[in-house]
A and B are shown apart, each in its own frame.
Chain A
Amino acid sequence: MQHKVIDVKDVVIRFAGDSGDGMQLTGSLFADMSAVYGNGLSTFPDFPAEIRAPHGTVSGVSGFTVHIGSGHISTPGDFCDMLVAMNPAALKTNAKWLKRTALVLIDEDAFDDAGMEKAGFRENPFTELKIEDRTIISAPITTLTYESLKDSGLDHKSIGRCKNMFTLGMACFIYSRPVEYIFGYLEKKFGKKHPELVAPNRKVLQDGYNYASNIQAIPDTYQIEPEHKEPGIYRNITGNQAVAWGLLAAAEKAGLKLFCGSYPITPATAILEELAIHKSLGATTLQAEDEIAGICTAIGAAYAGDLAVTTTSGPGLSLKSEALGLAVMTELPIVIVDVQRAGPSTGIPTKTEQTDLNQVLYGRNGECPLVVMAAHSPANCFDAAFNAAKIALEHLTPVVLLSEGFLGNGSEPWRIPSMADYPEIRPPCARESDRGSFKPFERDPETMARRWAVPGQKGFEHRVGGLEKNHDGVLSSAPENHALMVRERAEKVSRVADCIPALEVDGPQRGPLLVVGWGGTYGHLSSAVAQARSEGMEVSYAHFDYINPLPKNTAEVLAGYDRILVCELNSGHFAGYLRSVLPQFGYMQYNKVEGQPFLVQELVSAIEDALKR
């Protein structure tokens, strides 16, 4: 039968199944394929912390959302155009995200009595969920996968694992994606170690594609034209990968080796894993015995002259607090990457939040300021990490770079830059004229940074440590010296503002409402503001990449609006910070602490409400 091919601007597809069903792989393959095809895209993996949660249950559902479009895509989308539900539990947890026009593709084999009971369904799940008006494509995916591979020579269990490829084949047909890209991927993944898996996976993928094209159940197929993008070489990149690469880029520009001391922690581990690969670029990774050793080895490496970093998430950051104070006191350049997750304590490790801001701003003993920055999209993590390292090295200060699980695991297409376009990084190294009389805490009058001498340099022997010292590096508990050093350390951090870009405003410089955000909410906030404006609302938007210090023109920008609405995925950390730093303004808040990103729709409503008040 001839299907009608409909051109659409963008679609949101959510792949959902048991945590062992391979949904993360299926979703990311679909995303990569769309990226190569030239679509704009944004992804959002949403999975449980358990590696294999109880089979078939609601708590074990793993999802991967891909939003693709022919224009720029800045969020993974609120509601989906197609839901792939590999079992009843996946349908149950995701039904609320269905658009009215959505397709639902289910593996009907999994919708047996046992599956329905595990998900807590009594009768017809579609009626129970009130989604019987959606287009349901019910396919016996498990049976068809076994049928497809019965002569493959694979054992029963291995065949069962291939059903995600059958599903992916169906999705490829529905969205007019060529399966050839996946063939290439399969060759790369299995070709060397498991060549026996290449042919069966290819076959089942193709069979899924063919099946979808043969059945009558699929009314239409869709086409999403490639985005008209700036010419160049592109790739798809996750936030964690981009952080790792940005750090490598900074090390190269500074002419230093990169040292990363870290302890594995969700959702930051992929940065350590990525850096561990790149020994040929001078990266050394040390998987430490704990979080504290992670940062302390980094502090040691910074003292010895490396670009030193440690990567972590909230609970790990808590453990590093005392050592962060040591880095502030010894004035050594280290970068701490915190990929935030839902807390407190262990919280919900795989879910995203912005709840560590207060901790990085205030969570240390003594007067202990450091530079705080935030990345705003997966690809932006590259520049954010580069800039964090540049500031750390040029101002001799620890810098905390805040990322989020949403950014770290999420991905988007990225136009590959050339390193020639990035600035050199020039740390304030000890001067030849100081040989023999080096004063470790004497400062550059402009930046207030001290100079960096490293062991092995003759005539620069000096001691650093956690005890208060004077400019000469000699221990001092004199009241006036302590007051001076406290002031100077703070002044050094605040002068970083001289070297960061001004705050930009999306929209008019004056008006009734300014929406303010920071970090990974950028995509949602910019989409919401654009939508609100298209609906006739008068609203501007400012997004902060630099939190401490704030851009120098912050007060000037904020002064232009009647109301300021600070939107963040916590109970109001940034709003509270702005209140204390710039108390002359009033701040309204929109907050969400559910371990989930914002929805564009709820933000548009919040903007509307703010304008009414």
Chain B
Amino acid sequence: MKYTYTDFKSDQEVRWCPGCGDHAVLAAMQRAMPRVAEALGYEKERFVVVSGIGCSSRLPYYMDTYGFHGIHGRATAISTGIKVANPSLNVWQACGDGDALAIGGNHFIHAVRRNIDINIILFNNQIYGLTKGQYSPTSKFGAITKTSPYGTVEHPFNPGSLVLGAKGTFFARGLDTELKLNEEIMVAAATHNGTSVVEMLTNCVIFNNGAHSTISDRATKADRTIVLRHGEKMIFGKDRNKGLVLDGLKLKVVTIGEKGITEDDILTHDAHEDNIGIHTMLADMKYPEYPVALGVIRDVADVTYDGGVRMQAEQVTAKAKIHCVDDLLRSGSTWEVK
């Protein structure tokens, strides 16, 4: 490979708290980028990392790429402008759950709807960290935080449902401790043509420690999560003997070898299925009823916004009679004074 992860590391001191989940996501991104450059044949200067405001949004300063640290919630709009202006760039975006889903919720759903070719890495720690511990739109119902001392009385967003509801073409989920998996997901996201949303479940050691510990603890992780890969059986568990089947209109966890269940009965993951039904069910799975799905849940091909813009411009230009501003000024009704 032409680049290694050190090529994407800037000389800036990383200022996240020790033990913050963001460190691991940054490391995965720095490892994924050389592979993306290789896969797409891109030089490093074609990578741009954009962010909004929040702890995770400091990320562009730590990448030795072009970077834009925006304002709260607006990263998606800035990324959109960059990509439309120059579609040959590989645009990445780092944003948190508050940034992307509260103040920036509108831009987020519209980017997904347009399917513009950007890669959104959504750091979900279910808390506002930079402002020191208020609940976010992904905080669990009843979460006790500084602004909800008696527990929240509002339902959280599931980022996957939002993406799929907007007919997103790519959704994946990673977990901060899973460096290899995260790297694999990011390569898939960056090589996907269209809006890729990667939800990174991250821990906030200071304000929401153990945010995802029910599924991330080493001892129980294998039983409480399932890693989905296109074309592979939906099997999980420490002993690799649990799987997912369809029971009527719902998913169900079964044990291979029990009640006559064999590996053949287990569903095979199809990330390329256009219908969002099964992907929605997979993205919605919550422990303890289900394992939490990690990996690439959805990856389908569709027309992209930036591609559409370019194609339309070419078509219109091919037929146009106006090729310069002088042509334009003299078009339509004019008259001459002699």
| Inter-subunit contact A293/B336 (CB<8 Å) | no
Binds A, one of B77-85, B155-163, B174-182, B260-268: B77-85
A604 contacts partner chain B, Cβ-Cβ < 8 Å: no
B313 contacts partner chain A, Cβ-Cβ < 8 Å: yes
B60 contacts partner chain A, Cβ-Cβ < 8 Å: yes
| Inter-subunit contact A297/B80 (CB<8 Å) | yes
| Inter-subunit contact B322/A281 (CB<8 Å) | yes
Nearest chain A residue, comparing its CB with the CB of B53: A466
Q: Which residues of A contact B259 (CB under 8 A)?
A: none
Q: How far is the CA of A282 from the CA of B324 in the complex (A)?
A: 9
Q: Which residues of A contact B50 (CB under 8 A)?
A: 300
Q: How many A-B pairs with Cβ below 8 Å?
A: 199
With A231-B337, A232-B336 known to touch, is A308 a contact of B312 (CB < 8 Å)?
no
Binds B, one of A110-118, A452-460, A570-578: A452-460
Q: Which of B46, B79, B326, B338 has the most CB of A within 10 A?
A: B326
| Inter-subunit contact A456/B89 (CB<8 Å) | yes
B31 contacts partner chain A, Cβ-Cβ < 8 Å: no
| Total residues of chain B contacting the partner, CB 8 A | 58
Q: How far is the CA of A405 from the CA of B10 in the complex (A)?
A: 49
Question: A452-474, CB under 8 A of B: which get 1 and which 0?
Answer: 00111111111111110000001
A537 contacts partner chain B, Cβ-Cβ < 8 Å: no
B131 contacts partner chain A, Cβ-Cβ < 8 Å: no
Q: How far is the CA of A418 from the CA of B66 in the complex (A)?
A: 39
Q: Which residues of B contact A292 (CB under 8 A)?
A: 74, 77, 107
Question: A236-268, CB under 8 A of B: which get 1 and which 0?
Answer: 100000000100110010000101010000000
Q: How far is the CA of A286 from the CA of B81 in the complex (A)?
A: 9
| Inter-subunit contact A278/B89 (CB<8 Å) | no
Q: How far is the CA of A326 from the CA of B80 in the complex (A)?
A: 16
Q: How far is the CA of A257 from the CA of B86 in the complex (A)?
A: 10
| Inter-subunit contact B106/A293 (CB<8 Å) | yes
B316 contacts partner chain A, Cβ-Cβ < 8 Å: yes
With A460-B45, A464-B68, A465-B68 known to touch, is A303 a contact of B88 (CB < 8 Å)?
no
A296 contacts partner chain B, Cβ-Cβ < 8 Å: yes
Q: Which residues of B contact A464 (CB under 8 A)?
A: 67-69
With A245-B325, A462-B67 known to touch, is A296 a contact of B335 (CB < 8 Å)?
no
Q: Which of A32, A38, A302, A463 has the most CB of B within 10 A?
A: A463
Task: Give the interface SS of chain A, mostly helix, strand, loop or mixed.
Answer: mixed
| Inter-subunit contact A232/B337 (CB<8 Å) | yes
| Inter-subunit contact B71/A322 (CB<8 Å) | yes
A233 contacts partner chain B, Cβ-Cβ < 8 Å: yes
Question: A55-78, CB under 8 A of B: which get 1 and which 0?
Answer: 000000000000000000000000
Q: Which residues of B contact A474 (CB under 8 A)?
A: 12
| Inter-subunit contact B67/A463 (CB<8 Å) | yes
Nearest CB of chain B from residue A445's CB, rounded to whole Å: 26
A419 contacts partner chain B, Cβ-Cβ < 8 Å: yes
Task: Give the interface SS of chain B, mostly helix, strand, loop or mixed.
Answer: mixed
Give the contacting residue for A259; candidates B53, B81, B89, B328; CB below 8 A: B81
| Inter-subunit contact B110/A455 (CB<8 Å) | no
B44 contacts partner chain A, Cβ-Cβ < 8 Å: yes
B64 contacts partner chain A, Cβ-Cβ < 8 Å: yes
Q: Which residues of A contact B328 (CB under 8 A)?
A: 245, 248, 278, 281
Nearest CB of chain A from residue B99's CB, rounded to whole Å: 13
B4 contacts partner chain A, Cβ-Cβ < 8 Å: no
Within 8 A of B (CB), among A324-341: 325-326, 330
Nearest CB of chain B from residue A364's CB, rounded to whole Å: 12
Give the contacting residue for B316; candidates A229, A234, A280; CB below 8 A: A280
| Inter-subunit contact A417/B337 (CB<8 Å) | no
B121 contacts partner chain A, Cβ-Cβ < 8 Å: no
| Inter-subunit contact A284/B85 (CB<8 Å) | yes
A230 contacts partner chain B, Cβ-Cβ < 8 Å: yes
| Inter-subunit contact B110/A293 (CB<8 Å) | yes
| Inter-subunit contact A465/B337 (CB<8 Å) | no
Nearest CB of chain A from residue B135's CB, rounded to whole Å: 23
Nearest CB of chain B from residue A31's CB, rounded to whole Å: 12
Q: Which residues of B contact A129 (CB under 8 A)?
A: none
Within 8 A of A (CB), among B306-326: 309, 312-313, 316-317, 320, 322-326
Q: Which of B46, B78, B85 has the most CB of A within 10 A?
A: B85
Question: A373-416, CB under 8 A of B: which get 1 and which 0?
Answer: 00000000000000000000000000000000000000000011
| Inter-subunit contact A462/B66 (CB<8 Å) | yes
A172 contacts partner chain B, Cβ-Cβ < 8 Å: no
Q: How far is the CA of A462 from the CA of B107 in the complex (A)?
A: 25
A299 contacts partner chain B, Cβ-Cβ < 8 Å: yes
A-B contacts, 16 of them at CB < 8 A, read A279-B320, A281-B323, A284-B85, A286-B84, A293-B106, A293-B110, A296-B70, A296-B74, A303-B82, A304-B48, A304-B85, A305-B86, A419-B325, A456-B89, A461-B45, A465-B70
The 5 closest A-B pairs by CB, nearest first: A300-B81, A465-B69, A280-B320, A296-B77, A297-B81
* Extra inter-chain contacts (13) besides given A35-B335, A230-B337, A281-B322, CB under 8 Å: A36-B335, A252-B325, A259-B85, A280-B320, A286-B80, A296-B107, A300-B81, A301-B85, A304-B89, A456-B88, A463-B61, A465-B68, A467-B69
